[in-house]
Amino acid sequence: MNCHDVDRTLSQGLPLPLQAEEHAGTCNRCQQLLSALNSPVPVDPLSPAALRKIAESLADNLRPVRPLAPARYFVGAFVGIFVSIVALSVYRLGAFAIAVMTPLQTTAILSTLAIGTGLLVYSLVNQMVPGSRHRIPPALLAVGITILVAMVMAVLFQVQQEGNFWGNALFCIQAGTLVGALAALPFWLVLRRGAILSPRMTGAAAGLLAGLAGTSVLEIHCPNLDAWHILLSHLGVAILCALAGIATGLTVEIRGRRSIHRSSSEYGAH
Amino acid sequence: MFPQGVTPRAAAANDQQMESCLQENIVSQQPFADLDRWMERYQQADPEAPAALVGALSPALLRFFRSQVASREQADDLLQETWLRIHRVRHTYRPGEPVLPWIYAIARRVRVDGYRRTRRITLHETTMELLPERPVPAEARNRVPAFETLVAALPDAQREVVTMLKVGGLTLEEVARATSSTVGAVKQKAHRAYERLRKLLPIQADGTAKEAAQ
């Protein structure tokens, strides 16, 4: 047993085995580290009056609340909204891309979008409840899904010569962003049932999910199979919506910070 | 009146325990035992629940904040804000789920917001006079650096993990939940933190020895 093993045992959150304690007995650094880590943080005790003041302020406006519904209801709500918006938009715009894509392209791109959607929904539902278990950190997930979709698009579609590249791109971005905006509103209504601790991160995830609704509609509707067109204007919709989500989250964060500061000043004055 | 599984007798015993915490401000693992039941009662608007929860959790939360921020006043403000936020989002606690990660996730967010606000204010402040000399820290006497002195040298994410583990008494799984991370990532951060602390130790020790000699 050496210092490295002691570090490893400590980081596993396990009690130190006998060998580690024996090592610490002979190693000055380990002894110091363990003593420092186990030393209590000196804090003057809170006065019972201060604690009582906090407790009374909470008890003053105490009303029964119904705990948040189980996660599966929210998963159902998000998936239902996503599918409804995509179905309605495709019904309105038409499914021209399905006719020109190969079965492999259709299956691969729609499966990737479905996987990305599923993972984002799972992450968003967890983000609504503080202290939830995350299999993948939310920040990594949003970036990972964007990269995954981009890679699948780049592999499946080829670069083709196109006459009116920017005109077509603008049309798709407009249509996709509109679908994203339509999806974002009901997503926000579901999200506000929970406690959003990091509005920027949740905004990015919700924006990306709404954007993926737009991207899905474009993948089913747009018969243009040029790789650059798909990457810029179809995936671009998802990225634009994610950026809009971050901006919205930032605004909410700043407003929330001000309102908390105000309530706490009022509490102090009270 | 009482949540399922809580007998009046047990509840009375809990009341006494929580009351004693409120009175004496004791930090121990014991008050954490029935937190989930108290949270349920809090959601059901039991008027005794806020006092019980505040009494049981505030000392640990204050230590968490105190090891992360500079002054006691700031720590007190953060504690107050945390309870306001807990009250506002109490419906998001799902009965049966662990309480500590839920509480610490909120406390962590309050700390981040508090840090950003303080930084914005201090950017616009000008120091007019010298600060009073700080008293000689306890570690100068016994040569073992105090916890908060030691972890102050760590990056934010590592300091947060070590503080939750050592001060909050959370498990790796609970820290992972509170920080929206994975157990693997928490272990890695903790491991890096311990390695870094070990490297800092001789410097700390020399520094404190010099202080003691002066």
- Helix, strand, coil in percent for chain A, rounding step 5: 75, 0, 25
Q: State the pLDDT confidence band at A212, using cuts at 50, 70 and 90.
A: very high
User: How many angstroms separate the CA atoms of A3 and B53, rounded?
Assistant: 40
The reply to whether A43 touches chain B by the CB within 8 Å rule is yes
- DSSP assigned state of B45: T
**What's the length of chain B?**
214
pLDDT at position A84 over 90: yes
Q: Is pLDDT above 70 for A263?
A: no
**The pLDDT of residue B26:** 38
Contact check, Cβ <8 Å, B47/A65: no
Contact B177 A62 (CB under 8 A): no
- Residues from chain B that touch A127, judged by Cβ atoms under 8 A, are 180
Pick B205 or B46 by higher pLDDT. Answer: B46
- Is B182 close to A136, i.e. CB distance below 8 A? yes
Say yes or no for a CB contact (<8 Å) between B145 and A36. yes
Q: How many CB pairs under 8 A join A and B?
A: 208
Using CB atoms, pick whichever of A44, A55, A131 lies closest to residue B102.
A131
Residue B137, phi then psi, degrees to nearest 5:
-65, 160
Amino acid identity of A45? Answer: P
- Residue B12 has a pLDDT of 47
Lowest mean pLDDT among A2-6, A265-269, B50-54: A265-269
Mean pLDDT for all residues in chain A: 90
Q: What is the pLDDT at residue A42? A: 67
Q: Does A257 touch chain B (CB under 8 A)?
A: yes
pLDDT tier at A199, thresholds 50, 70, 90: very high
**Exposed/middle/buried for A181, CB within 10 Å: 0-12, 13-18, 19+?**
middle
Note the pLDDT of residue A9.
Answer: 82
Residue A78 is predicted with a pLDDT of: 98
Q: What is the pLDDT of residue B129?
A: 55
pLDDT at B43: 94
Mean pLDDT value of segment B178-193: 93
- Which of the listed ranges A240-249, B13-22, B185-194 does the model predict with the highest average pLDDT? A240-249
Above 90 in pLDDT, residue A91? yes
3-state secondary structure of A62: coil
Identify the pLDDT of residue A267. Answer: 54
pLDDT tens figures, B108-119: 999 888 877 776
Average pLDDT over residues A80-95: 97
**Closest CB to A264 among B72, B81, B180:** B81
Chain B hits for A41, Cβ within 8 Å: 63, 66-67, 146-148, 167
User: CA dist B154 to A101, B196, B200, Å?
Assistant: 53, 8, 10
Q: Among A165-174, B1-10, B202-211, which is the least confidently predicted range?
A: B1-10
pLDDT at A60: 86
What is the model's pLDDT at position B10? 42
ipTM of the complex: 0.85
pLDDT band at residue A243, thresholds of 50, 70 and 90? very high
B143 or A86, which is more confident: A86
Q: Do B201 and A38 make contact, defined as CB atoms within 8 angstroms? A: no
A94-108, B26-40, B70-84, B128-142: segment of lowest average pLDDT:
B128-142
Phi, then psi, of A55 in degrees rounded to 5? -60, -40
Residues B134, B39: Cα–Cα separation, whole Å:
41
Q: What is the mean pLDDT of residues A20-42?
A: 78
One-letter amino acid for residue A12 of the chain: Q
Domains of chain B, each with CATH number or no CATH: 14-125 (1.10.1740.10), 139-214 (1.10.10.10)
Convert the pLDDT of each residue in A214-236 to its tens digit.
999 999 999 999 999 999 999 99
DSSP state of A131: T
Per-residue pLDDT for A87 more than 80? yes
pLDDT at position A103: 96
Among A37-51, A80-94, B90-104, the minimum mean pLDDT is found in A37-51
In this prediction, residue B120 has a pLDDT band, given cuts at 50, 70 and 90, of: low
Residue of A39, A64, A137 with shortest CB distance to B181:
A137
Looking at the complex, does the CB of residue A269 fall below 8 Å from at least one CB of chain B?
no
Nearest Cβ partner for A130 among B72, B106, B197: B106
- Please state the separation of Cα A93 from the chain's center in Å: 29
Per the CB < 8 A criterion, the answer to whether B38 and B49 are in contact is yes
Entry pTM: 0.82
Q: Do the Cβ atoms of B176 and A133 come within 8 Å?
A: yes
The domain segmentation of chain A, as residue ranges, is 3-30, 71-260
Report the residue of chain A nearest B99, measured CA to CA.
A131
**Of A82-86, A112-116, B14-18, B65-69, minimum mean pLDDT range:** B14-18
Inter-chain contact A54–B101, Cβ cutoff 8 Å?
no
Least CA distance to A254: which residue of chain B?
A: B113
Answer yes or no: is pLDDT of B32 > 70: no
| pLDDT of residue A268 exceeding 80 | no
Phi, psi angle pair for B133, to nearest 5°: -65, 135
pLDDT beyond 70 at A208:
yes
